[in-house]
Amino acid sequence: MREVVPDEWQALRDIRLAALTDAPSAFGSTYAREAPFAEDQWRTRTTCGGRGAMFFAELPELTEPAGIAGALVQDDGTVEVVSMWVRPNARGHKVGEALITAVAEWARSRDHDALYLWVTESNAAARRLYERCGFTATGERQPLPSDSALPEIRMRRAL
């Protein structure tokens, strides 16, 4: 695991666009929206607009990041896990768990006491991962911003 730096904006762009292509119903954005982003927009995203951090997971057998996740401090001061995705060829190697750990450590080191995230209700694999990582449903629901026909649920994990 390592924190993404602004000079890695192209790698961030590549993995984010791969995620949006692989799992379009898992994100609040779309490939069509993000593909045209300019370099400065991608550089800004490496730090979640100065409100957090992005992390790459790496595996020795891959030349590109195996996964990505971000920690975004919301306006209310809570930390949300964002942009979580693991490449299909890296699944089953505990990459998702390692990304959640990296985000949790980042949040804990900044005196936050919990992590939150939104997950599409129908994404059973992601929900199982988050439950293994200690997240529980909060009871909150909302439509997925990129597809209002898909409901998402909010989950929380104490740190």
CATH of domain 2-158: 3.40.630.30
pLDDT tens track for 9-66:
999 999 999 999 999 999 999 999 999 999 999 999 999 999 999 999 999 999 999 9
> According to the model, what pLDDT value does residue 107 have?
98
pLDDT digits (tens, 9 = 90+) for 109-157: 999 999 999 999 999 999 999 999 999 999 999 999 999 999 999 999 9
CA distances from 78 to 48, 63, 70, 134, 151 (A): 14, 34, 13, 17, 21
Rounded CA separation 105/133 (Å): 13
